[in-house]
Amino acid sequence: MLSAKNLQLTFNPGTPIETRALRGMSLSIPAGQFVTVIGSNGAGKSTFLNAISGDQWVDSGTISIDGSDVTRQPVWARALRVARVFQDPMAGTCEDLTIEENMALAQERGTIRGLRSAVKAHQRETFRARLATLGLGLENRLTDRIGLLSGGQRQAVSLLMAALQPSRILLLDEHTAALDPRTADFVLQLTARIVAENQLTTMMVTHSMRQALDVGQRTVMLHQGQVVLDVSGEQRQRLDVPDLLQMFEKVRGEKLADDALLLG
Ligand SMILES: Nc1ncnc2c1ncn2[C@@H]1O[C@H](COP(=O)(O)OP(=O)(O)OP(=O)(O)O)[C@@H](O)[C@H]1O
Ligand SMILES: [Mg+2]
């Protein structure tokens, strides 16, 4: 269970570029639920994910994972519980290390070990088997530098790495956005499979309304640092892409009205 309560975060407070990125963000996600997250540019999606991983601390509010308060825990302390895959395929892996070294680092995350400790034979077999499930031939490239892989291949390996970690929470920030449509589709299907197999509690940020409704069990729309739509079950099934687009227009319209009020 992941729970965020009344998160507030203001960047550059008291300056002309002050930005209130999170304004009372609250969301509870039961263990194993897969939530898609949408919202216009600047809505606070990445900031919210950063707050959960600890990459960004909130000014106030509480974040708890499985009942324990992690609000003031640094990234490394949360790494045992939270795995991430970023939009940029170059982020999240060490390009100078080999595929198997990257996978070993993911598997040993949160444990004390020497950097570049030798990959053990039994680990290598696990990695080979996992990589084979991708159908990309990467099981024969264990000792290739990960920097040699294409963006799609790296995202696929990043997802496998996330599943090798002991963490139960997976944060995906537009992780298919930099991929061509076919590869994006492949990585999306892989995501659904890995999440289901490992019963990961997942938040996936996307700008695709189709993905937002088709993937996972629940859709959340953020706007100005708050949750403005939260649908699941039958209500979600009844929604279609035009409905979501209409809601975007509605919240944007309300914002325009707010601004007009402020100006007036
Ligand atoms: N480190 C930072 N310093 C200052 N402002 C920031 C910082 N990070 C984010 N912001 C601001 O906070 C707001 C929310 O940004 P965020 O990146 O969370 O949006 P987003 O919903 O992920 O948007 P996008 O769809 O463009 O990725 C924006 O106004 C952004 O400019
Ligand atoms: Mg973002």
Higher pLDDT, 114 or 111: 111
Find out whether the beta carbon of 41 lies less than 6 Å from any atom of ligand 1: yes
What pLDDT shows up at residue 212?
Answer: 96
pLDDT of 217-244, one tens digit each? 999 999 999 999 999 999 999 999 999 9
d(CA 83, CA 222): 21
The fraction of the chain above a pLDDT of 70, given in percent, is: 93
> Residue 25 above 80 pLDDT?
yes
CA 48 to ligand 1: nearest atom: 18
Domain boundaries, the chain: 2-263
> Residue 264 above 90 pLDDT?
no
Instruction: Identify which ligand lies nearest to the alpha carbon of 51.
Output: 1
What pLDDT shows up at residue 227?
Answer: 96
What pLDDT shows up at residue 256?
Answer: 59
What pLDDT shows up at residue 254?
Answer: 77
The mean pLDDT of the chain is 91
Residue 6 phi, psi (nearest 5):
50, 50
Q: Which stretches does DSSP call E strand in the chain?
A: 2-11, 19-29, 34-38, 60-65, 68-69, 82-85, 169-173, 201-205, 218-223, 226-232
CATH architecture of 2-263: 3-Layer(aba) Sandwich (3.40)
Single out the residue of 55, 78, 48, 63 nearest to residue 4, CA to CA.
63
What pLDDT shows up at residue 111?
Answer: 64
pLDDT of 120-147, one tens digit each? 888 999 999 999 999 999 999 999 999 9
Centre of ligand 2 from the C-alpha of residue 201, in Å: 20
Residues with CB under 5 A from ligand 2 (ion): 45-46
Centre of ligand 1 from the C-alpha of residue 44, in Å: 6
Centre of ligand 2 from the C-alpha of residue 70, in Å: 22
Which strands, in side-by-side order, build the sheet including 2-11? 19-29, 2-11, 60-65, 68-69
> Residue 203 above 80 pLDDT?
yes
What pLDDT shows up at residue 108?
Answer: 82
Find out whether the beta carbon of 43 lies less than 6 Å from any atom of ligand 1: yes
Over residues 47-73, mean pLDDT: 96
Q: Confidence class of residue 67 from pLDDT cuts 50, 70 and 90? A: very high
Find out whether the beta carbon of 42 lies less than 6 Å from any atom of ligand 1: yes
Centre of ligand 2 from the C-alpha of residue 44, in Å: 7
Q: Confidence class of residue 109 from pLDDT cuts 50, 70 and 90? A: confident
What pLDDT shows up at residue 260?
Answer: 60
Find out whether the beta carbon of 44 lies less than 6 Å from any atom of ligand 1: yes
What pLDDT shows up at residue 76?
Answer: 87
In this structure, the residue with its CA closest to atom 2 of ligand 1 is 11
- Beta bridge partners, 20, equal 10
